[in-house]
């Protein structure tokens, strides 16, 4: 049983475990309290795995290709972060590292851990604290913004050079969407119910 306060009329009521695709409505005003997301566990896992593949591509393939005097130099994202740091762009480099490297990894690692646990019906030891961490990290994912930041800064660095985005940029763009789908497939109510946490 789960206690929920109606967002329309504030009536607090208990919701029993719901069937797939079921909707719980407020007893007093009929507002929707909760809607079960169909096949949430499989869809979350599928999007998370797709995200991890894109993440590996984004980290290992060239992020930028810099052409200067007939010489082509390729830069990976992590190299770019280090170069920004060395060029006195420390704050930007830390922000890019956090939002583009660390937070997506925490999000996907957390989802993989928690949802493998749910899928296998095995209760992993840290599933509750990991899911709590995931819910805190959610609003901090602003990859798109810092992606633009690093592109602008890198273009600035290579003034007299021709700069082309590498395959990692495409992978990163796709990763942004895939992560959004993964996060929106998460049914927090279901997770807390199965983990037996207090939500
Ligand atoms: Zn109500």
Taking the centre of ligand 1 as the mean of its atom positions, its distance from the CA of residue 25, in whole angstroms, is 8
Where does residue 123 fall: left (phi above 0), alpha (psi -120 to 50 degrees), or beta otherwise? beta
Q: What is the mean pLDDT of the chain?
A: 84
> Structure tokens of 44?
């979350």
* Residue 199 pLDDT > 60: no
Q: What is the pLDDT of residue 194?
A: 84
**Domain coverage including residue 159:** 39-195
pTM for the full predicted model: 0.77
Model confidence band, residue 197 (pLDDT cutoffs 50, 70, 90): low
What was the pLDDT predicted at 142?
Answer: 66
**Which tops the pLDDT comparison, 137 or 45?**
45
Distance 14 CA to ligand 1 centre (A): 12
CB 175 within 8 A of CB 58: yes
Residue 123 sits in the same domain as residue 67: yes
Residues 50 and 130 in one domain: yes
Distances (CA, A) of 66 to 91, 92, 147, 161, 168: 23, 20, 17, 6, 14
Shared domain for 76 and 123, answered yes or no, is yes
Task: Determine the average pLDDT of the residues in 158-168.
Answer: 77
Residue 33: pLDDT band (50, 70, 90) is: confident
Same structural domain for residues 171 and 159? yes
Same structural domain for residues 131 and 159?
A: yes
Cα 13 to ligand 1 centroid, rounded to whole Å: 9
Contact 82, 154 (CB under 8 A): no
- Provide the angle, in degrees to the nearest 10, between the axes of the packed helices 103-119 and 188-195: 60
pLDDT of 108: 94
Taking a 5 Å cut-off on Cβ, the residues next to ion ligand 1 are 6, 8-9, 11, 26, 28-29, 31
Question: Which pLDDT score, from 0 to 100, does residue 37 have?
Answer: 81
Q: Mean pLDDT, to the nearest integer, of 95-121?
A: 90
Q: Are residues 54 and 31 in the same domain?
A: no
**pLDDT greater than 70 at residue 62:** yes
Are both 32 and 45 inside the same structural domain?
no
Q: Do 105 and 13 sit in the same domain of this protein?
A: no
**Predicted pLDDT of residue 170:** 87
If asked whether residues 80 and 99 sit together in one domain, one would say: yes
Residue 151, pLDDT above cutoff 90: no
Question: What spacing in Å lies between the alpha carbon of 188 and ligand 1's midpoint?
Answer: 21
CA of 173 relative to ligand 1 center, distance in Å: 40
User: pLDDT class for 17, splitting at 50, 70, 90?
Assistant: confident
Q: State whether 90 and 156 are in the same domain.
A: yes
Query: Structure tokens of 187?
Result: 């049914």
Structural domain count of the chain:
2
pLDDT of residue 113 exceeding 90: yes
Q: What's the average model confidence in pLDDT over 153-158?
A: 67
| One domain, residues 51 and 145 | yes
Same domain flag for 47 and 88: yes
In angstroms, the CA 32 to CA 18 distance is 13
């Amino acid at each position: 049983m789960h206690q929920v306060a109606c967002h329309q009329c504030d009536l607090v009521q208990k919701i029993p475990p719901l069937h797939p695709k079921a909707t719980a409505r407020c007893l007093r005003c009929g507002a929707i309290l909760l809607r079960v997301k169909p096949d949430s566990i499989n869809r979350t896992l599928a999007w998370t795995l797709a995200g991890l593949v894109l993440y590996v591509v984004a980290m290992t393939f060239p992020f930028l290709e810099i052409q200067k005097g007939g010489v082509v130099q390729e830069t990976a994202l992590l190299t770019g972060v280090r170069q920004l740091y060395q060029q006195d762009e420390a704050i930007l480099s830390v922000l890019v590292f956090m939002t583009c490297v660390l937070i997506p990894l925490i999000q996907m690692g957390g989802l993989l851990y928690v949802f493998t646990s749910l899928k296998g019906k095995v209760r992993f030891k840290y599933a509750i604290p990991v899911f709590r961490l995931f819910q805190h990290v959610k609003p901090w994912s602003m990859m798109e913004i810092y992606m633009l930041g690093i592109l602008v800064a890198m273009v600035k660095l290579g003034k007299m050079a021709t700069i082309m985005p590498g395959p990692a940029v495409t992978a990163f763009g796709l990763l942004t969407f895939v992560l959004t789908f993964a996060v929106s497939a998460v049914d927090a109510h279901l997770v807390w119910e199965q983990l037996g946490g207090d939500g």
